[in-house]
Structure 1
Amino acid sequence: MTRRIGWLAAKALSVLLVAASMAAAQPSAHDRPFSPFGIGSCYINNRSLKDMQRWMPQMEAIGITTHRTPHCDWGALERAPGEWDWTELDAQMDYLDEFGFRYGCLLIGNPGWNEADPRGHLPVNNLDGWSNYVTQLAQHVRGRTNWLEVWNEPPNFTGKDQTPEDYAKIVVAAYDAAKAVDPDFKIGLAAKSVHVNYLEQVIRAGAKDHFDYVVLHPYEVLDGVADDTGCEAVFMNIVPVVRKMLAHVNPAKQDVPVIFTELGASADAGADRQAHALVKAYTMSIAQGVECLEWFEGRDGDSGPMGLIDREGNPRPAYHALATMIKHLGQYPQYIGWTRPNDQALAFAFQGASEPVLVAWSPDGGSSEIGFSQDVRLVDPTTGEATSTRQLQLGVAPMLVLAPPAAMLEDARANAARPLDWGGDYSDAQEVSITFGDQIIERGLHTRAGADVAKAVVAYGGSARAGDVPGGNAFIVDPGFLCYDSVPIEITIEVRRNEANDNSGFKLVYESQDGFKTAGTWYTVPDNQEWHTARFRIDDPQFVNYWGYNFLLQSDGNEYNKYLIRKATVRKLAE
């Protein structure tokens, strides 16, 4: 009997040792790479463990494994000088760890006891205090996360009088403090929207070599996609333009990860539109190499109906769409390439969880039909329902095509390293243009209104476009023609007044190295008797689409925008 008990004890110990060995072999959430399928939250859904418990279980249920940040605000942790309270942060991290989530920390805040800088919110007047905050936080979260994002959307939430140099000081102080705790900490350099110009200014102002990843929030560019204006090529150029800028000003950091710690679409314009935007955003983010997209947000909070679920916890179509994507693409989809079936539809190919998957839709608000050489399974992301067919009628709603024909995958693979075209290759062109009429002719120049809207607003017998159409006065050049590089250009606009001969005019505002600037002076349209050409020479353009367009014809209110546009041209000049 004694021998039997001893054998059982030895057997039990052996089982425990094997189990422990297996557990040790499994990577912790901290050691796993980020899945691209992440989630984020507004302030009121992320202040405490109680806030998280209202919505995080529904995120975990569909396979989300990455969360932007628990609540790490400086003032919430150091309520008085030297008095640190980690209770709520620990509770949140314990909860995230229990669910197996990866997460970073957002370094932000200026506690009430710190004398504020009258110029803004960045605590540049107390860099010692800021550095100590980063040190204390890094010591506390070490081993649980090592990703530290510095501030939210600068120059938003900084101060109108605080400069890129001020933000650079905050970044450098955070970098030095965190690396002193552990060199493995990674510091995120951030900017609002796709404000690559601002990132460059910050790097030049002192942040060079003091960051390990780049953070962007490209809401406005996604809006162009969600509104079906054909801006997919602009969205697909976000990471390339960041890489181009880094290669120019900080080559050692050219290949750092890019993370979208916020990106979303409101359900106000339609729950289906939000779901379509989500599928397209994740698809194109993964395709261009974004490390993680943390959708904003999980549950409706203080920013309106942005959530995958509403305030009562009811799932929206976007929630189901994300669940379907994770199911079929897996946590770590491998990008194969893009293809344009029938030269109309747009499809991105991935090696998914168990088989190749195409994510396809029809851009520009149009429709197209795809024929397959074999039966394929189609999956509607918002319902998860699958059907078998050889014909697919595509509209703006994206569809998943499981196990597509090999020829389609090969075509996608051939395009993997090529920029997504937008009606042609304009990389060697000297000029691009858009002409309005019965047919809208886009030769490398586009508007935020989209081709379908343009067709609906032509005037003067189909020979022009009204200048007061929403989005019709915001122009985008093909990224292959001009992106980031600052070369002299001339922009010409052929205009006339409307039929009523109303007094009208505009100024041309464009993206430059210093942000948006006005070119020349105000242009008054002379009359409606003939077409007139307004000319603007620009010597310092830097087109990066940080608000989703490159230049704008801006009138004062709606009083002076009663003009018509026949043609717009952007021409490169000899330097």
Structure 2
Amino acid sequence: MNRWTLLLAALGLVPTLLQAEPGPFGIGSCHINGRSVDDYERWVPEMREIGIGYQRSLMTHWGAVEPEPGKWNWENVDAQWKYLHDLGFETGTLLIGTPSWNKKDPPGHLPVNHIEGWKEYVRQTVTHFRGKVSRFEVWNEPPNFTGPNQTPADYAKLVVAAYDAAKEANPDCEIGLTAKSAHIHYLKQVIRAGAADHFDWISLHPYEVLDGIVEDAGMECAYLNIVPTVRRMLVAENPAKRDVPITFTELGVDAVRHGEKAQAAALVKAYVMGIAQGVENIQWFEGRDGDSGPMGLLDRDGKPRMAYRAYSRMIKELGPNPEPMGWLQVGETGLGFAFKVNGQPVVVAWVPRKESETVTLPDGCRSVGLVDRSEATSGELRLDGLPVALHGLPSSWIGKVRQIRGGLPPWPGDPGSYADAKSVSIDFSRKPAEQGLHRRSGERLAEAIVAYGGSARAGDAPGGNLFTVDPAFLCYDPEPIRITAEVRRKDPAVNAGFKLVYEGGKDFKTAGGWFTVPPEDGWHTATWTIEDPGFVSYWGYHFRIESDGPKFSQYYLRRIVVEKLDGASR
């Protein structure tokens, strides 16, 4: 034991910690914070102190445990496992890597040309950790960290080999299928390429969708739709696996780019909405700043950030294993998520998109700020983008809770229902401008830009041309659509134009060709017909209007419409 562990033991805290179930609260690390016990000692005790119970991975890179062919070295990873175990952590681990001595596969490639060697690596690793590690994640973020020409079929080959070898070594172990971001289409392709029935759980890293929440773009609905969309894909592609656990083995926010308060608020929202939709475990990236930038709960010097303290308060208020009940509207614009904690309901609430409102708390209700540490009882509460935990709400409030699978919350500022709609749109000449179609930068930024006639949007506005449709309108299914945009040049003498890039059934694709905005005065219409949309928001949006540099984006956008097509309207 290190000094921190000895101190906990002296205080009588270690037995309590060891009895805790891992629950949904996890943590991960970059390379330089996860190579050895010495690395762990710089940050892991602080994670356990606040109640985190699951750590993502040991240093089980193929080349690390088999540095030479047939020679196995477990000393370092055994020490890592013991250190974590003694602190009360449960851990999974990665199956990853191409050792330097493998001449058949270049570094950074999936080792598909040395499958027998890969299988032996998996067999040895699973055997060695039998009874200690049960979950094994195959690779990290594919198609990231794979060869430039390697395909979903290559990854499928690796998954199948790992599954067969792992089950031979330990039938009770669990093999994880994974993909970068929330790339559900990649998972679909891997399953179709042969990985069906060869996985026990799924891992995703939805950084980009979470960024839409950090940036106050109102992406809560898209984030809440990740698990339902994965389930929808599994029903279609591998029904036997429709209910496998889903984890987020990486998810984080840059504390310098967005600020510590925004990072802390995003952490709470990520866990609250993740648990609400059925994510089994979220492993925040990361515990302490390392080689991936200022993402840590602790900074590079080991000083706790606001996110560390918010994580601690969240676990304290929700307990180690909160039971999700569903969502409810709080006031006019607030969004709340209810959990059963020790048999009693607790609601975590905030107002999306930098809005705020005053709500009246019933008698006997207590609020606890999870980011700013504010506390109040009954009376008026100013609710904004910082999550608060509400205790003691009466049955009249809790009776309004709806389960996620029964319907997602409405998009902030857009109370419409689009499940049966034929079209969704943005029209800057009306209020609200967004009706079932939303920009990542949101209506607030649109209003801040003086555009033609006061009712249009500048095409060169920062980050402005990313669009997301309400998932109730269209999600995953390749239903044919038509997208129409009304545009005009800022200056008739200055050339302007763009192309439309959309999320298709495999990846992003360009629809049609380049559209040059006509120089004539007045509004002009650009139209695209898309037969194969695959809107799952794996980069946090569904389509974009893209110009080749600022000089071609000198146009105004007044209106854009997405409509579903039937056979007669194509």
**TM-score for the superposition, normalised by structure 1:** 0.93
Counterpart pick for 2:445 among 417, 432, 453:
453
* SS of match in other structure, 2:457: strand
Deviates more, 1:552-561 or 1:419-428: 419-428
Distance 1:28 1:251 in 2: 40
Q: Could you tell me whether the CA contact under 8 Å between 1:30 and 1:144 is conserved in 2?
A: no
Q: Which runs of 5+ in 2 are unaligned?
A: 1-14
Distance 1:561 1:263 in 2: 33
Counterpart pick for 2:235 among 242, 247, 251:
247
Within 5 Å, which residues of 2 pair with 1:162-561? 162-268=150-256, 269-353=258-342, 355-413=344-402, 417-422=406-411, 423-437=415-429, 439-499=431-491, 501-527=493-519, 529-561=521-553
Q: Could you tell me whether the CA contact under 8 Å between 1:488 and 1:572 is conserved in 2?
A: yes
Superposition deviation, residue 417 in structure 1? 2.8
1:410-460: CA deviations, max 9, x gaps?
111477732222232211111111111373421100000012112112411
Superposition deviation, residue 191 in structure 1? 0.3
Deviates more, 1:65-74 or 1:346-355: 346-355
Distance 2:51 2:18 in 1: 17
* SS of match in other structure, 1:552: strand
Measured at CA, do residues 487 and 110 of structure 1 come closer, stay the same or move farther in structure 2, by a change above 3 Å?
Answer: same
- Alignment partner, residue 46 of structure 2: 58
Distance 2:16 2:332 in 1: 45
Distance 1:119 1:506 in 2: 38
Please tell me whether Structure 1 or Structure 2 has the larger radius of gyration of its CA atoms. Answer: 1
**Does residue 54 of structure 2 align to residue 103 of structure 1?**
no
- Alignment partner, residue 16 of structure 1: none
2:184 alignment partner AA: V
Q: Could you tell me whether the CA contact under 8 Å between 1:120 and 1:161 is conserved in 2?
A: no
Q: Could you tell me whether the CA contact under 8 Å between 2:362 and 2:378 is conserved in 1?
A: no
Q: Could you tell me whether the CA contact under 8 Å between 1:124 and 1:166 is conserved in 2?
A: yes
Q: Could you tell me whether the CA contact under 8 Å between 2:287 and 2:296 is conserved in 1?
A: yes
1:34-66: CA deviations, max 9, x gaps?
411111100000000100011000000000011
1:441 alignment partner AA: A
Superposition deviation, residue 312 in structure 1? 1.1
* SS of match in other structure, 1:411: coil
Counterpart pick for 1:44 among 32, 36, 39:
32
* SS of match in other structure, 1:360: strand
Distance 1:254 1:444 in 2: 28
Measured at CA, do residues 257 and 31 of structure 1 come closer, stay the same or move farther in structure 2, by a change above 3 Å?
Answer: farther
Distance 1:465 1:332 in 2: 46
* SS of match in other structure, 1:173: helix
Counterpart pick for 1:151 among 116, 135, 139:
139
Q: Could you tell me whether the CA contact under 8 Å between 1:230 and 1:365 is conserved in 2?
A: no
2:551 alignment partner AA: E
**Does residue 88 of structure 2 align to residue 88 of structure 1?**
no
How many residues are treated as equivalent by the alignment?
549
Distance 1:363 1:570 in 2: 24
Q: Could you tell me whether the CA contact under 8 Å between 1:509 and 1:554 is conserved in 2?
A: yes
Distance 2:232 2:402 in 1: 23
Measured at CA, do residues 502 and 328 of structure 1 come closer, stay the same or move farther in structure 2, by a change above 3 Å?
Answer: same
Q: Could you tell me whether the CA contact under 8 Å between 1:448 and 1:471 is conserved in 2?
A: yes
Deviates more, 1:213-222 or 1:455-464: 455-464
2:117 alignment partner AA: G
Measured at CA, do residues 104 and 457 of structure 1 come closer, stay the same or move farther in structure 2, by a change above 3 Å?
Answer: same
Distance 1:480 1:415 in 2: 12
Distance 2:89 2:44 in 1: 10
Distance 1:261 1:211 in 2: 16
Distance 2:318 2:16 in 1: 22
Superposition deviation, residue 536 in structure 1? 0.2
Distance 1:232 1:382 in 2: 18
Superposition deviation, residue 33 in structure 1? 6.0
Distance 1:325 1:277 in 2: 12
Superposition deviation, residue 208 in structure 1? 0.7
- Identity over aligned residues, as a percent? 54
Deviates more, 1:151-160 or 1:393-402: 393-402
Q: Could you tell me whether the CA contact under 8 Å between 1:190 and 1:199 is conserved in 2?
A: yes
Distance 1:128 1:537 in 2: 47
Distance 1:106 1:540 in 2: 34
Distance 2:199 2:322 in 1: 27
Distance 1:407 1:124 in 2: 58
Counterpart pick for 1:140 among 128, 131, 143:
128
- Alignment partner, residue 56 of structure 2: 68
* SS of match in other structure, 2:101: coil
Superposition deviation, residue 405 in structure 1? 2.6
Q: Could you tell me whether the CA contact under 8 Å between 1:440 and 1:455 is conserved in 2?
A: no
Superposition deviation, residue 462 in structure 1? 1.4
Distance 1:118 1:45 in 2: 26
